[in-house]
Structure 1
């Protein structure tokens, strides 16, 4: 396997943002109004290390991330479960099959979208067509889901929604690689990550307000996402790149696939961290896939629609805990210069929250379990990223390796719902759904994932 080349034979950019594949540095010409002054020679030699981006540009980026996340998360958290109960009330396991199919679709399209946008040359920029096009088609996909007369079309709509909104959201991070200088990249990426934490809460609130109308439940989040995406696409991401030289080399499937392979033998730290991250995210996904149905069973007598209001309350507590975990965990890790122990602690916290949730039969206990799980998630998301940056095999190919790290999350999100559905069938004799074991399994998996990173990764403290 070749560890240092893209399909075109170029070395991947070391400035690609954390956790998303496909971004490479390229020459960009930004309107002066978007930038503070910078050294011209530095900006010319290192386009992504040049002029400082202004605060309002970052605000538009964060709003676009919030909008795109709301459009994608609200159906996953609430809308699909409500629609599925209308179409197949006795088959909640279908939710796992549908979400797995969508995640697999996003897994396939993410690397390709990055490579294609790198090769795009338009008056509006390389990323703008993918941001705007993804959001427009994403709204169409949500409309298909709202109007779906059967489970099959609901699943088709969700796969399309994943493909389109994932493309738009991914292109936002590619813009960070293109535009944000190195001295700002951590803060901008951190704010972008915080936007992803805020979005589920806002989505839950929107869902609670619109749960009585299935069309509005799907379409309003999509319209919000579309408007905020277009605002950033045509104001913040716009740039004329037609003068850029075309990308060399032919784009082939073999080259794309080779770009997402690496040698575990040559890079054992990276490989162990990849496995630990995969297990942690698999546990998280197993615990959350059937969360709406579990909450309905324990708190509302099986009424899924009534969970929307509860989800908003749980979501608010969860985002505060996750934000505290992410910001506090990152600060403590840097202050103590200890990262791996905090990763392991995050797994223990998540497991404790999962067990608490499994034993919950009232709202306060449910809230306590959710808050503890989200605290663990926040710490893990911040500190494990720092571990990856410590052990990245080739800084010159950081974009490629960070893309591979993202595959651990994508694969976990695509396979864990299917595992959860199969496990649910095994532990639910007689058709009576038994969600409780899923939370125990999820807790064990996250602790194992954190333990692998703590004990096997040697290149980070």
Structure 2
């Protein structure tokens, strides 16, 4: 049976549940990365002693990222081949939610780099499993609204971070309390979204068992798809260099007192969030209307480069606020329109989750290497200018790579072939 195309449009209820799922995923992934883990592993002291905390934090975050990198396409592949009574995506969304909840509770009571690293690894694995399932819904169930749904993914990334950091700051929670609040958030929101979103997609047939491996992995021989993957990896690496060590940058690059650093970080995130949300929504809608997603993605990567170059040139808090706004515009548009561009390039409906898992891997690999490379760059020069200069150069390189993707409207693509 041939796979029928997804319905043209879905309801506001679908979008609300989809946003709820991603809000929870981003909050529990980014809040530990930006705030809780650096606080757990910080080593304040005399001249140069803080660099040890930066290096350890980078190693811990990098190990967790490696697990997510390996797990995402595998979880997507298994989801594509799941035919349970619960559906095709729902069992994996629920399993990932459960693992995130348990890992957050464990990390709340962890002490030392090894225990924190184990907790972060479990959390990263849960995020990978859930995000593979939820991302596949865009390709499974949407056609005309892919840009809008991708904008939800991009905008909730910033909103989720502000929800997590803002809640901890407003409630004046310590590290343990912060993790427990995040665990409650993802347990309720993730499970509700997984249970209430429709699944499986209509008309999507499960793949056959006897198809040659070369046919199943033809997507990796597609020129446009591989250029898109490369650009996505490089731009996300640049973004990771510019964002994952922000608390350390405020403490030791700008010279912000420890008592004020968390509040200053929160304000930076607020500014970043406003512009990420605006750019995600506007960029997604423009891409749906024009169909020229490539040009928007390239421009967004170049805007991110401007923000990183500004931080490399001037290390002051007012400049950091301006750079946060510019970075929000660039990365917000890049993330939302980039996911929509990726879904337009998918060749086979029966492999949506696996192929989108590769797209997620490209982004996660950049986020994985960012803390490791960033920590090395900071240690190399004893400061942060090289970190941000490298972020700018990588963003430009990613823009160039993405420009190699053919500019095609989604409607011009051939329909998915019927499985044999």
Name 1:270's counterpart in structure 2: 225
| 225, 238, 248: which one aligns with 1:283 | 238
The CA distance in 1 between the partners of 2:65 and 2:230, in whole Å, is 18
Does the Cα contact within 8 Å between 1:79 and 1:207 map onto a contact in 2?
no
| 267, 280, 295: which one aligns with 2:250 | 295
User: Secondary structure in 1 aligned to 2:54?
Assistant: coil
Mapping for residues 190-201 of structure 1, pairs under 5 Å: 190-201=151-162
Name 1:453's counterpart in structure 2: 402
Q: Which moved more, 1:324-333 or 1:220-229?
A: 324-333
Does the Cα contact within 8 Å between 1:300 and 1:306 map onto a contact in 2?
no
Q: Computing the radius of gyration over CA atoms, which structure comes out larger, 1 or 2? A: 1
Does the Cα contact within 8 Å between 2:280 and 2:335 map onto a contact in 1?
yes
Q: Which structure 2 residue ranges, 5 or more long, are not aligned? A: 410-420
Name 1:148's counterpart in structure 2: 110
Name 1:54's counterpart in structure 2: 11
Q: Is 1:319 paired with 2:273? A: yes
Q: Is 1:409 paired with 2:363? A: yes
Structure 1 residue 357, shift from structure 2 partner:
2.4
| 370, 378, 398: which one aligns with 2:332 | 378
Structure-2 change in CA distance of 1:82 and 1:237 (3 Å): farther
Q: Which structure 1 residue ranges, 5 or more long, are not aligned? A: 1-43, 429-433
Aligned length: 402
User: Secondary structure in 1 aligned to 2:326?
Assistant: helix
Structure-2 change in CA distance of 1:437 and 1:162 (3 Å): same
Structure 1 residue 316, shift from structure 2 partner:
1.7
User: Secondary structure in 1 aligned to 2:42?
Assistant: helix
The structure with more helix, counted as a fraction of residues: 2
The CA distance in 1 between the partners of 2:308 and 2:250, in whole Å, is 13
The CA distance in 2 between the partners of 1:52 and 1:383, in whole Å, is 18
Q: Is 1:208 paired with 2:173? A: no
Structure-2 change in CA distance of 1:284 and 1:86 (3 Å): same
The CA distance in 2 between the partners of 1:238 and 1:401, in whole Å, is 18
Structure-2 change in CA distance of 1:255 and 1:104 (3 Å): farther
- Give the RMSD, CA atoms, in angstroms: 3.6
Does the Cα contact within 8 Å between 1:67 and 1:224 map onto a contact in 2?
yes
Q: What do the CA deviations read for 1:5-30 (whole angstroms, capped 9, x no partner)? A: xxxxxxxxxxxxxxxxxxxxxxxxxx
Name 2:415's counterpart in structure 1: none
Name 1:249's counterpart in structure 2: 209
TM-score, with normalisation over the residues of structure 1?
0.76
The CA distance in 1 between the partners of 2:62 and 2:218, in whole Å, is 21
Name 1:64's counterpart in structure 2: 21
The CA distance in 1 between the partners of 2:290 and 2:99, in whole Å, is 46
Name 2:35's counterpart in structure 1: 78
Name 2:412's counterpart in structure 1: none
Q: Is 1:158 paired with 2:120? A: yes
